[in-house]
Amino acid sequence: MVAAGVRLGLLITLLWRNGAQVRKNCYLCIGKLYVMKFIRRYQSDIYGNYRLAALRDGALAGLLIAGVVLFCKLIYYPIYAPENYVTDIALLVATLFFAYRYRSRLPEKRVFFKELMLYGLGLGIVAAVVYGLFLLFYGSVVDQGFAARCLEHFIAGEQRGAGTDEEKAATIAVMRTYKLRTWAFIGAFRTAVMAIMTAFVAALLFRTEKNVVRPK
């Protein structure tokens, strides 16, 4: 039990100290709390079945991200991290496309920020799950050097970071125990967190109705 706690603590330390990318994810999680608090302040109507649409479109978005990763492999530019700018851009494009299509399919093409935000968050979470499952397949069948590249990339980031040599050595030792499923989980988690930003952008761009502040 103590050993498991130590490993968890080292993993959290690693994820925080590994660079700005992970801290960005933490800040986005905090931002999500403020966004949801902001949404609850306003009164709005729901015009469509955003839950079902998010489930369907999220699966398609996850497959789109997977397709982009496969394309990168085909052009001899395999990804070096479970989540990177390529996958982030793919998620953003997918979210914008499906959010616009969702609005255009509503009976009156009217939609509030809240509905689009909830739709985008649901889409992102489903896409992250699909992408995480894809990484398990990708790393075991398509690109068996994927996990090794991720390890090399994370170790390089740790060596460039702050901290004593002893701390870095302990963190790197934990990294070396990572399996393919660990990298797949990291990719899915970071993609889900990035969905907060992409959902917010899509909701701002494609909303058609102004929200009314709830009476206190």
Q: What is the pLDDT of residue 41?
A: 57
Higher-scoring residue by pLDDT: 20, 185: 185
pTM: 0.77
Q: What is the pLDDT of residue 16?
A: 46
Q: What pLDDT, in 10s, does the model give residues 69-111? A: 999 999 888 888 888 899 999 999 999 999 999 999 888 888 8
Q: What is the pLDDT of residue 3?
A: 47
How large a percentage of the chain has pLDDT more than 90? Answer: 48
Alpha-carbon distance 189 to 54, whole Å? 18
**Amino acid identity, residue 69?**
V
Q: What is the pLDDT of residue 158?
A: 82
H-helix or E-strand containing 119?
A: helix 113-137
Across the range 8-15, mean pLDDT stands at 49
Q: What is the pLDDT of residue 202?
A: 94
Q: What pLDDT, in 10s, does the model give residues 39-52? A: 555 556 676 788 99
- pLDDT for 36 beyond 70: no
Q: For residue 68, give both structure tokens.
A: 């982009």
Half-sphere exposure of 9 (CA within 13 A, CB side): 8
Q: For residue 154, give both structure tokens.
A: 């994370």
- pLDDT for 2 beyond 50: no
Highest-pLDDT range among 12-21, 72-81, 162-171: 72-81
* Beta strands at 42-43 and 212-213: parallel, antiparallel or unpaired: antiparallel
**For the chain, what is the mean pLDDT?**
81
Radius of gyration of the chain (CA): 19
Rounded alpha-carbon distances, angstroms, from residue 179 to 17, 147, 192, 209: 20, 7, 20, 47
